Amino acid sequence: MIEKLAQFTDIRCCLVVGGLSTKVQEAALRSMPDIVVATPGRMIDHLRNSMSVGLEDLAVLILDEADRLLELGFSAEIRELVRVCPKRRQTMLFSATMTEEVDELIKLSLNRPMRLSADPSTKRPATLTEEVVRIRRMREVNQEAVLLALCSKTFAAKVIIFSGTKQAAHRLKILFGLAGLKAAELHGNLTQVQRLDALELFRRQQVDFLIATDVAARGLDIIGVQTVINFACPRDLTSYVHRVGRTARAGREGYAVTFVTDNDRSVLKAIAKRAGSKLRSRIVSEQSIAKWCQTIEQMEDQVAEVLQEEREERALRKAEMEATKAENMIAHKDEIYSRPKRTWFATEKEKRLVANAAKASGDNDKGPTKEVISAQQAEDLKMKEKRKREREKNLPRKKRRRLEASREMLEDEEADEVEQGRGNSKKDKAGKLLVDVAYRHAKAVKAVKKAQAAGKFVKKVGKNPKRPSQRTQSRPEEMRDLFQSDMHDKKQKKGIHGAAKKKSKSFKSKSRFLDHELCFSNSSRCRKFAA
């Protein structure tokens, strides 16, 4: 891009990235270019191991997609570059999304920073049409057929397809080639030269489809991209914003189509709500899907053959590389050992250790959560489920229906068990207190019965028992207590002997009881009456 912009000026630029010849890059850096476009690792490599290469005359340092650089694990390299650069410089950070790590980097590398916002990061272009293709639970195995049906009729040119894994992207590229559709692939398993060739083919419109992972989600400004298809639903807002940002650029029209399974619906709804997107539903013809399903089934053997040939070629290429390396070591041994030993900012082993430590610390911070699987494991599980569905499809109609019915019954039972478990947990939380209360009540009743059997009077205690008064009882109160205890003992004796006759001398009313009580307190002769 810079070369095209500066082709009619005297501005000179060079590219310093991994995967290309270090000798050519070293010669270009020695020629003191005006603009250097580099990746952090390769630039530090040249600063450490290339002669006459330094940053003493650097005037402006630009960090493009700063948040992505920090996510990919380049934080240590970025800080090292900032340390090596001269202090009297201008530093610029560019990104569509700003994170906490970027804010920390701003504090580290910028003095009196000024923030400029060209557009809100989550605002969608007015010319972008966002659509959703829903993939039902029982039809997830037909997702590739839905994609081929869309690409063969509706979106036939200048399309970028985002896949979840490198293996899935490579499989789609093989399927597109066998189906007669011109496609190129762009992912991490390719060398730098292969990636640049794929981009050049897509720019020149020699291929109509670019099948890529999130490697192509940022930094690509390809003129005329009409459609972006999210074959794998993005997992967060940042990824969605950068993916759909490859189309509808500079006022042009564009389409963004996202494949959504039942497991991805909640994620996409949350993304659309935060991004303010208006998603439309797109329906694909069932006849076209069925046709491509049959075609893919017929192409499975060819896909397996292509993958086997690629594995053999890879092994042969590796053997040839090792042989060439051994020949060079023998032929140019003195020259190779006379060179100064190369030093590295961080070896591959150190990078792996740092990554594992960061992952372990992140897991400890999150605490006990659900198990997270890698993209490769998710792809393997998906392929396993696909083969299982294909086997079920070949079963007789009666067995297939019986299997589906039993699966539905099992899902209903699991849902009922979950609901019942939630209800039981609530009951258990409330029932523990009831058990304790019942135990205490039974213990109290047992103590009362034991006291009654021993001939002791037990006074009932209410919920809020009053504290006994400290004053001494008067004579009438003492006599009333003696009378009540005497009557209580008499009733117990009658219950023990089983006397069933009518109580003729019992008090019939409250007024009579009060009269006798007054008589008892005022006259000693009433004792004979009470007896």
Do 244 and 256 meet the contact criterion of CB atoms below 8 Å apart? yes
β-sheet bridge partners, residue 94: 64
pTM: 0.62
Q: Does the pLDDT of residue 398 top 80, yes or no?
A: no
3 state DSSP class of 159: strand
- Fill in the DSSP letter of residue 262: T
Nearest by Cα to 256 from 392, 358, 129, 148: 129
Residues making up the chain, counted from first to last: 531
Whole-angstrom distance, CA of residue 231 vs CA of residue 254:
17
For 24-86, give the secondary structure using H, E and C. HHHHHHHCCCCEEEECHHHHHHHHHHCCCCCCCCCCEEEEECHHHHHHCCCHHHHHHHHHHCC
User: Options 3.40.50.300, 3.90.1150.10, 3.40.640.10, 3.40.50.2300; which CATH number does 1-109 get?
Assistant: 3.40.50.300
Burial 18-32 (b: 16+ CB within 10 A, else e): eeeeeeebbebbeee
pLDDT tens-digit map of 345-380? 777 677 677 667 666 665 554 444 444 455 556 667
Residue 271 host element (H or E) = helix 265-275
More confident residue, 401 or 326: 326
Return d(Cα 188, Cα 228) in angstroms, integer.
Answer: 20
Segments making up each domain of the chain, as ranges: 1-109, 128-301
Task: Answer whether 1-109 and 128-301 agree in fold.
Answer: yes
pLDDT reported for residue 436: 65
Give the C-alpha separation, 388 to 140, whole Å: 12
The answer, yes or no, to whether residue 425 has pLDDT greater than 60, is no
Residue 86 has pLDDT above 50, yes or no: yes
The H or E element containing residue 133 is: strand 128-135
Cβ neighbours, 10 Å, residue 328: 12
Could you give the CA distance from residue 240 to residue 258 in angstroms, rounded to a whole number? 10
Highest mean pLDDT of the ranges 39-48, 89-98, 263-272, 495-504: 39-48
Residue with tokens 């390719």: 190
pLDDT-derived band at 492 (thresholds 50, 70, 90) equals low
- Topology, domain 128-301: Rossmann fold (3.40.50)
Q: How far is CA 387 from CA 142, 390, 401, 407, in A?
A: 12, 5, 18, 17
For residue 62, give Cα distances in angstroms to 35, 54, 101, 115, 488: 11, 17, 17, 14, 100
What average pLDDT does the structure give for the chain? 78
Distance (Å, rounded) from C-alpha 188 to C-alpha 376? 13
- Provide the pLDDT for residue 455: 65
CB 158 within 8 A of CB 226: yes
Residue 97, CB-side half-sphere exposure with 13 Å CA sphere? 21
Least trusted range by pLDDT, from 33-37, 109-113, 314-318: 109-113
